[in-house]
Amino acid sequence: MKSILVIRYSALGDVVLATSIIRGLRAQYPGVRIEWLTNDGFVGLLEGVVDRVIGFSRTARSLAVADVRGRFELCIDLQNKVWSRRVAHAAAPER
């Protein structure tokens, strides 16, 4: 496994709690690159926690989809919304 995308973009407390999966992912997949898709307002919170934070605004969602399309082996959708499922399907074959 080389690359994982985590999707959690709303509710500050939920984003913070979701970071608890990072340690387990790094233990399960040593050397994996982990990127996180989130709302622009939470980018600073996640910098240094994962390898790359992809921020987006509600008005530029299509740019976020284009940025992740086909780049990951695994996508973990912690948001579980219609739009996040579309992103997950675009980002990785395994969800």
Burial of 12 (0-12, 13-18, 19+ CB in 10 A): exposed
Res 18: pLDDT? 97
Closest by Cα among 78, 72, 68, 64 to 21: 78
Count other C-beta atoms under 10 Å from residue 28's C-beta: 11
Q: How confident is the model at residue 26 (pLDDT cuts 50, 70, 90)?
A: very high
Question: Measured on CA atoms in the order 75, 4, 8, 24, is the torsion positive or negative?
Answer: positive
> Residue 73 in contact with residue 93, Cβ under 8 Å?
yes
Per-residue pLDDT tens for 42-89? 999 999 999 999 998 877 777 778 889 999 999 999 999 999 999 999
Instruction: Give the whole-angstrom CA distance, residue 41 versus residue 28.
Output: 29
Res 16: pLDDT? 96
